[in-house]
């Protein structure tokens, strides 16, 4: 187990209206030339919760508040480029390998002394699972939420969102100059009202400056649009790890997700031993079914 407890850096400033919604400890950790913003609550079994694009650790707030702080140490980082972590201005800084490397550095520097439950949604699945694949003795259990755990199949077809992201010029203008897709997350929900105006503002605010609004498009372009896409190599490593993992595993899925809802059957085939919670939530299911996710985490912690 890698244990290199790094010095915690001061937490970045966040708007007061957001801070009032987050009764958590906050700090930053240097993950190799970039600072990652981290929130924590509780003590006990470490539960590392990894968000995806274009959200940040805020997405996990409801789940964290449903877990007993005497039993679980819930750790909610912001991926580099998102939330209140550092934001490289060069879109080429973003690759699946780079995010796995940054996230692995975070795991090494958290000073973890016991095995973790790692929960990943959207890009948080491949990034988090890719990092622990290089640290398999660190893992207690897995929680898989509307994500992918393997490269695309030969018959795959990218969604309209990802096809649009790969269109030059037009996608650059829409992603970089407007709050897209941050202001429209409700479209991907089972219940569109599950992301209210306060939550929408919390998702839009960290990327309001167009100079720093690089990651949403870069991460959308990390999604393979061909069998030769550079993300596929890392996704193969993720698949090898999760398919071999025999610890407690939970799948919590939003079936009304227009992006990944239909992928559940394929994920179940890769993880036949997992316990499955199928819900009517959408893509950002942490906003809709935090109780079911908390149950899944409890299952994965039983090692």
In tens, the pLDDT along 19-58 reads 999 999 999 999 999 999 999 999 999 999 999 999 999 9
One-character DSSP codes across 96-112: HHHHHHHHHHHHHHTT-
For residues 126 and 146, the answer to whether their CB atoms sit within 8 Å is no
Confidence check: pLDDT of 1 > 70: no
Q: What is the pLDDT of residues 194-214, one digit of tens each?
A: 999 999 999 999 999 998 999
Closest CA to 188 of 303, 287, 79, 298: 287
Confidence check: pLDDT of 2 > 60: no
Closest CA to 29 of 69, 70, 91, 75: 75
37 phi and psi, to 5 degrees? -80, 135
Closest CA to 256 of 175, 188, 205: 188
Q: In what side-by-side order are the strands of the sheet with 35-41?
A: 25-30, 35-41, 72-77, 45-50, 116-121, 139-145, 249-254, 275-279
Confidence check: pLDDT of 3 > 60: no
Q: What is the pLDDT of residues 105-161, one digit of tens each?
A: 999 999 999 999 999 999 999 999 999 999 999 999 999 999 999 998 877 777 888
Find the farthest-apart pair of alpha carbons in the chain and give their distance in angstroms, rounded: 50
Q: Record the pTM.
A: 0.95
Position 154 scores a pLDDT of 72
Domains and CATH numbers, the chain: 16-300 (3.40.50.1820)
Confidence check: pLDDT of 303 > 80: no
Report the C-alpha gap between 243 and 273 in whole angstroms. 10
For residues 50 and 124, the answer to whether their CB atoms sit within 8 Å is yes
For residues 121 and 50, the answer to whether their CB atoms sit within 8 Å is yes
Using only C-alpha atoms, the chain has a radius of gyration, in whole angstroms, of 17
């Amino acid at each position: 187990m890698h244990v290199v407890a790094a010095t915690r850096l001061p937490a970045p400033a966040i708007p007061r209206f957001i801070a009032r919604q987050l009764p958590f400890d906050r700090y930053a950790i240097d993950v190799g030339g970039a600072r990652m913003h981290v929130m924590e609550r509780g003590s006990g079994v470490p539960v590392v919760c990894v968000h995806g694009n274009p959200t940040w650790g805020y997405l996990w707030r409801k789940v964290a508040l449903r877990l007993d702080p005497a039993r679980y140490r819930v750790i909610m980082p912001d991926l580099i480029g998102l939330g209140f972590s550092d934001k490289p201005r060069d879109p080429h800084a973003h690759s699946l390998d780079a995010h796995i490397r940054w996230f692995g550095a975070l795991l090494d520097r958290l000073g973890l002394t016991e095995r973790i439950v790692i929960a990943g949604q959207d890009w948080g699945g491949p990034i988090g699972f890719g990092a622990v694949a290089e640290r398999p003795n660190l893992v207690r259990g897995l929680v898989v939420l509307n994500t992918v755990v393997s490269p695309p199949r030969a018959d795959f077809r990218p969604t309209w969102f990802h096809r649009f992201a790969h269109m030059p010029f037009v996608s650059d203008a829409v992603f970089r100059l407007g709050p897209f897709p941050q202001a429209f997350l409700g479209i991907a929900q089972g219940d569109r009202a599950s992301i209210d105006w306060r939550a929408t503002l919390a998702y839009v605010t960290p990327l309001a400056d167009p100079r720093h609004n690089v990651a949403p498009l870069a991460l959308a372009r990390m999604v393979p649009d061909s069998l030769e896409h550079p993300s596929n190599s890392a996704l193969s490593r993720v698949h090898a790890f999760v398919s071999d993992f025999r610890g407690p595993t939970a799948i919590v899925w939003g079936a009304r997700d227009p992006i990944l809802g239909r992928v559940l059957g394929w994920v179940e085939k890769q993880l036949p031993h997992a316990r499955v919670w199928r819900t009517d939530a959408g893509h950002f299911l942490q906003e809709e079914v935090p109780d079911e996710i908390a149950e899944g985490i409890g299952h994965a912690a039983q090692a």
